[in-house]
A and B are shown apart, each in its own frame.
Chain A
Amino acid sequence: MIILEINDKNYTVDVAPDVPLLWVIRERLKLTGTKYGCGIGMCGSCTVHIDGKAQRSCQTTVGDAQGRKITTIEGLPENHPVKKAWVQEQVPQCGYCQSGQIMQAAAMLAEDPHPSEENILQAMDGNLCRCGTYSKIKSAILLASKGGRRP
């Protein structure tokens, strides 16, 4: 049995410790906001927070995630400045990568509340968006970093 703390709730799951955290979050606990994109940590669609840091849940086993604090998109408060900025800037198109983008951006802003453009690019470069919403993602991050006020 593996005990996972996700979004401040404890889940007991009957699963082998080498199973990717992604599959347990999505397919067993049905927190489906976290997406499968590549399975090799190259697209960022599966990004969650583990102890506050953005991590690829496809590259993390449940064994390693045990005993740590996990946050998924569903656990990020509705009024989180990043979620609000995403709505205000109308970022998503197909939307599939956006949970990962938001989790990545939220973790970056927690560490660096007023990032330079260079720091944004560095933090976000591992998150792919096939619809090409990059420049809106950038403006939403800037908006969130300015407390919701457009620069």
Chain B
Amino acid sequence: MKTTITRRQFLKITAGTGLSIAVAATPLGYRLLSAAEIEKEPFSFRPSVWLKILPDNTVIVAVNKSEMGQGVYTSLPMIIADELDADWKNVRMEAAPAGDVYKDPARGMQFTGGSSSVRNMYEPLRKAGAAAREMILTAASQEWGVPLSECAVVMGRVRHLMGTRTLSYGNLSERASRLPVPQNPTVKKESQFRYIGTEVPRLDVRDKANGAAMFGIDTFVPGMVYAAIARPPAYRADLETFDKEAALRTAGVRNVMPLYSGVAVCADTIDAAWKGRDALKADWQKGRYPELTTGSLEKDFIARLNSKGITARNDGDVYGAVTQAAKKIEATYILPYLSHATMEPMNCTAHVRADGCDIWVPTQNQTGVQALASRMTGLKLEQINIHTTYLGGGFGRRFETDVVEEALTLSMSTGMPVKLVWKREEDLQNDFYRPANCCKITGALDGSGNLTAWSHIIVCPSILSRVRPQSMKNGIDNAAVEGLVNMEYEIPNVTVEYVRLDTPVPVGFWRSVGSSHNAFTVESFVDELAHAAGKDPLEFRLGLLKKHPRAQRVLEVAAEKAGWNKALTKGQARGIAYHLSFGSYVAEVAEVSANKKDGTITVHKVTCAVDCGPVVNPAIISAQMMGGLTMGLSAALKEKIEFGNGGVKSENFGDYELLRMSEAPEVDVHIVKSGEKLGGIGEPGVPPIAPAVANAVFEATKARVRRLPMKPATILEALKQV
């Protein structure tokens, strides 16, 4: 169940009806506040999470993170419900509006990404729940005139331990709301958890199984018009001609206007807008990069391997170790640009008025959307209402605000509410892609097969120079080298060199970001080295991770559960890989067979072991591992954006194929519990799958895959090198 309300409404509902708690991040730690206190606070003070208990026992958690499938609309309320000891039946969630009060206290921004939702909200939400619990208990002890020690909470009720009296939270919420908020409430011990650590059913599943969940594309606003945009087929191509009159003659079309990104048609219905766009017959100039093709890009990446890069890591003396090596191994890997291909195409509905602005959008970036709208309209931040809908997939694409900018522009020029829905073709061709990249790796083995040196050159476009320029230190994009600069293998001599190559192709965050490609090159090359050293790939890894017990453990668990040393059906082979990303360790073992004649690969089964520290909802963790590795497998086997004539050639799911059910493996997930710090779960399932499969392909065929995706032609090509 989900509703959307504005902050003003929230405060109105809250005042005088039940108990509500906000959490504020301050330089001294978290501070807890009641609704009355927060209204008095100066603007600069930033309380960020809300919980309310209504007189009818309903517990409402305002969730400041976007639900894009990763389960935050369930896992965040679970944390509060547990500390509060609420009855889960009575727990509801609301999508928080955008505003300072809902910023992530750890990041100072309202956004969903970096697998950080539970990680950043765990502590403040526990405190909020525990504070509310203590206030409810105090209210009960006052109501009954008994010592606090005689009162206990049980599933949404307070019991008098010395008698039979009980009161529901709803009965007590009014009195509790007048109490001071305790600043250091005692959070539960792990053994006292009621919900945390259990498979609590998702709050969003029922609505998603009956068609009721409202996504951005499901927005309707009275008086709205639909917009469609004709876009150039090439990067930086100017408009040559278009038939405005023909578009205007289309029934239902109201306006036609050139825009910075194309030519827009506004109409009464979506079909009229799309027909009007076709009628435009927009013609475009060649674009600034007419020679740009998939091949030209690949050539550029490979050529840049010889450029001097920026040193991002330098341990020991790689040069010395390589010159003294008994065996020197060298390999070049190349990976493609990838599209997010969220099932819900980009869309936004915007209504700009003189006195305010409403934006309905499936976004991962409320702070960015609000700032953009304020900048464009000249309205104050608090006049911009953002209605975060369900997201039909995000994967980083919905961190961008490009579609919002278009919808705002159109609403400002028409003076009407505008619903803009991109076609699938627009979505695939106007993405901020996962960067293509190319790596040259050199490894040195001594006479006993010990790995003594690793030199890694990566040529990769920069995402952060556009998205977060302040994070660029010494010209290094941390996203491009994540998984390399912090590679855990205990090798005495390591260098990582970053060669930044910016091409006309825009790049952005794609589920697991740099780890989505760096895990492939590192884990494939470790496998190459293991074979060169004549060692078992699992043993070789474990031997290089003696000081990294969490890494060892996930590798061991995945291997054991997969039966690493057990025989397989004839023709099948196993590959293993592990990666640390977003604070979580994940190892995956893939069981694969390869058809040497036609180059097709079948992935039969994947066994996954994850250590993400404390476990909030094991079912959601398993689902994220399964989903992450399936998306990673889709990319590994099938996905590649093709370019031609200066733009993106791939158009739709016919030529940008995603993994289908018949290609999806059986998945077996094992959660490895540890007392370590919380790690993320949305992304870490992705990185190990591509190398696990490629390593299995090597076991099966002796063909080393150094290029993705592993389409039949690529496999046949690799087989020729055997």
A interface residues (Cβ-Cβ under 8 A, vs B): 15-16, 19-20, 23, 26-28, 30-40, 42-43, 45, 72-74, 76, 78, 83, 86-87, 90-99, 102, 120-122, 124-138
Determine the chain B residues whose CB is within 8 A of the CB of A96 once the complex forms.
215, 342-344, 390, 392-393
| Residue in chain B with minimal CB distance to A83 | B209
Is B667 an interface residue when CB atoms closer than 8 A count as contact?
yes
A135-B208 contact, Cβ under 8 Å, with A94-B391, A127-B661, A130-B343: no
Contact with A along B193-236 (1 / 0, CB 8 A): 00000000110111111111111011010000010000000000
| Residue in chain A with minimal CB distance to B428 | A38
Please tell me if the beta carbons of A134 and B661 are within 8 angstroms of each other in the complex. yes
Please tell me if the beta carbons of B662 and A125 are within 8 angstroms of each other in the complex. yes
Please tell me if the beta carbons of B393 and A94 are within 8 angstroms of each other in the complex. yes
Which of A95, A129, A134 interacts with B204 by CB under 8 Å?
A95
Which of B629, B654, B661 interacts with A124 by CB under 8 Å?
B661
Is B421 an interface residue when CB atoms closer than 8 A count as contact?
yes
Is B666 an interface residue when CB atoms closer than 8 A count as contact?
yes
Please tell me if the beta carbons of A38 and B653 are within 8 angstroms of each other in the complex. yes
Determine the chain B residues whose CB is within 8 A of the CB of A72 once the complex forms.
211
Please tell me if the beta carbons of A130 and B631 are within 8 angstroms of each other in the complex. yes
**How far does the Cβ of B424 sit from chain A's closest Cβ, in whole Å?**
4
20 contacts between A and B (CB under 8 A): A32-B214, A35-B215, A90-B205, A90-B619, A91-B205, A94-B344, A94-B393, A95-B207, A95-B392, A126-B660, A127-B661, A130-B342, A130-B631, A131-B627, A132-B630, A133-B626, A134-B630, A134-B659, A134-B660, A135-B665
Determine the chain A residues whose CB is within 8 A of the CB of B659 once the complex forms.
132, 134
CA distance A132 to B669 in the complex (A): 14
Is B341 an interface residue when CB atoms closer than 8 A count as contact?
yes
CA distance A97 to B69 in the complex (A): 11
Is B687 an interface residue when CB atoms closer than 8 A count as contact?
no
Total inter-chain residue pairs, C-beta < 8 Å: 174
Please tell me if the beta carbons of B210 and A83 are within 8 angstroms of each other in the complex. yes
Please tell me if the beta carbons of A27 and B664 are within 8 angstroms of each other in the complex. no
Contact with A along B632-673 (1 / 0, CB 8 A): 001000000000000000001110001111101111000000
CA distance A117 to B649 in the complex (A): 36
Please tell me if the beta carbons of B653 and A43 are within 8 angstroms of each other in the complex. yes
**How far does the Cβ of B263 sit from chain A's closest Cβ, in whole Å?**
20
CA distance A43 to B623 in the complex (A): 21
Determine the chain B residues whose CB is within 8 A of the CB of A78 once the complex forms.
210
Please tell me if the beta carbons of A43 and B343 are within 8 angstroms of each other in the complex. yes
Determine the chain B residues whose CB is within 8 A of the CB of A120 once the complex forms.
661
Is B361 an interface residue when CB atoms closer than 8 A count as contact?
no
**How far does the Cβ of A11 sit from chain B's closest Cβ, in whole Å?**
15
Determine the chain A residues whose CB is within 8 A of the CB of B628 once the complex forms.
132
The listed residue with most A CB atoms (<10 A of its CB), out of B208, B217, B652, B659, is: B208
Which of B201, B623, B629, B662 interacts with A93 by CB under 8 Å?
B623
**How far does the Cβ of B217 sit from chain A's closest Cβ, in whole Å?**
7
**How far does the Cβ of B428 sit from chain A's closest Cβ, in whole Å?**
9
**How far does the Cβ of B625 sit from chain A's closest Cβ, in whole Å?**
10
Closest 7 pairs between A and B when the two form their complex, measured CB to CB: A33-B211, A132-B630, A96-B392, A93-B69, A95-B208, A94-B69, A73-B211
Which of B210, B269, B345, B626 interacts with A132 by CB under 8 Å?
B626
Please tell me if the beta carbons of B391 and A36 are within 8 angstroms of each other in the complex. no
CA distance A76 to B628 in the complex (A): 30
Identify which of residues 525-546 in chain B touch chain A, using a CB-to-CB cut-off of 8 Å. Answer: none
Is B409 an interface residue when CB atoms closer than 8 A count as contact?
no
14 new A-B contacts at CB < 8 Å, known A78-B210, A92-B209: A32-B218, A33-B212, A39-B652, A72-B211, A76-B210, A87-B209, A94-B344, A95-B215, A96-B390, A98-B209, A125-B660, A125-B661, A126-B660, A130-B341
Please tell me if the beta carbons of B70 and A30 are within 8 angstroms of each other in the complex. no
Please tell me if the beta carbons of B210 and A74 are within 8 angstroms of each other in the complex. yes
A134-B343 contact, Cβ under 8 Å, with A40-B652, A92-B209, A102-B209: no
Identify which of residues 329-379 in chain B touch chain A, using a CB-to-CB cut-off of 8 Å. Answer: 341-345
**How far does the Cβ of B360 sit from chain A's closest Cβ, in whole Å?**
13
A128-B652 contact, Cβ under 8 Å, with A94-B343, A94-B393: no
Please tell me if the beta carbons of A40 and B653 are within 8 angstroms of each other in the complex. yes
CA distance A35 to B216 in the complex (A): 11
Is B155 an interface residue when CB atoms closer than 8 A count as contact?
no
The listed residue with most A CB atoms (<10 A of its CB), out of B70, B209, B271, B658, is: B209
Is B68 an interface residue when CB atoms closer than 8 A count as contact?
yes
Which of B269, B395, B652 interacts with A28 by CB under 8 Å?
B269
Determine the chain A residues whose CB is within 8 A of the CB of B619 once the complex forms.
90
Determine the chain B residues whose CB is within 8 A of the CB of A94 once the complex forms.
67-69, 342-344, 390-394
Which of A15, A99, A132 interacts with B627 by CB under 8 Å?
A132
Is B327 an interface residue when CB atoms closer than 8 A count as contact?
no
**How far does the Cβ of A34 sit from chain B's closest Cβ, in whole Å?**
7
CA distance A138 to B662 in the complex (A): 10
| Residue in chain B with minimal CB distance to A133 | B627
CA distance A125 to B657 in the complex (A): 12
Contact with A along B553-564 (1 / 0, CB 8 A): 000000000000
**How far does the Cβ of A97 sit from chain B's closest Cβ, in whole Å?**
5
Is B270 an interface residue when CB atoms closer than 8 A count as contact?
yes
Is B423 an interface residue when CB atoms closer than 8 A count as contact?
yes
